[in-house]
Amino acid sequence: MRDRLILLPGWGLGVSPLEPLAAALHGLNEHLRVQVEPLPALASSDLDEWLDELDASLPDNAWLGGWSLGGMLASELAARRGERCCGLLTLASNPCFVARDSWPNAMPGATFEAFLAGCHADVPVTLKRFGLLCAKGAADPRGLARLLTSAAPQTPWDVLMSGLELLAQLDTRDALVAYRGPQLHLFAGLDELVPAEAASDLLSLLPDVEIGLIEQAGHAFLLEDPHGVAGAIQAFLHECVDD
């Protein structure tokens, strides 16, 4: 199914932020079937359970991609599927979302713990703050933040918390190295959640894959400029098919 691309969303905001990108991709290539699939609604932070659910529900032999947490899960699923995955693309997706000694260019642990505590205390306020962080670096950050949060689903509290716990523990470096198919990873220069320096760190880890940095954009660049992002993805897909 080299004509099918599965896109997974980030934490908390549902599938809506990816839908303009899916429409833009279809506009560039009417033969490409783009599916935006929700993340598993699991009250567990066990990675294998998340991957089991995704592997069982998503079609085989497709391109896998995602935004932020969705990109991390797509990376793990691509490594699990191996030749059953056509290729991988991630958007604003750090191999480690929370910093560790071996991967310092990520969110500081204390910042993440404060965010986790905020979610425990007041989910709506935390989601609003999260939307603002995603939109920072955009031309109209407040308008983009409203767009992000207005369509967010009413996700159960325990599912939101398990997603955050999964985000904290994920380290996709081994999966990215193990997956031998084509890869495209796009980062944003003004991202408040994933430092731009992670792009060069990833290039050091994976010198043979395509890594791009959109300098004047924030974490939600896929929603701010879906046509530009679609163009970069389409060029990558076209190049891979030609090869």
Q: Show which residues are catalytic.
A: 68, 191, 219
Token pair 């990520």 in the structure block, residue: 106
Torsion sign over Cα 41, 164, 132, 203: negative
- Residue 139 sits at φ, ψ, to 5 deg, of -65, -35
- In DSSP notation, 65-109 reads EEETHHHHHHHHHHHHHGGGEEEEEEES--SSSB-BTTB-SSB-H
Non-local (6+) Cβ contacts of 58 within 8 A are 6, 37, 64, 77
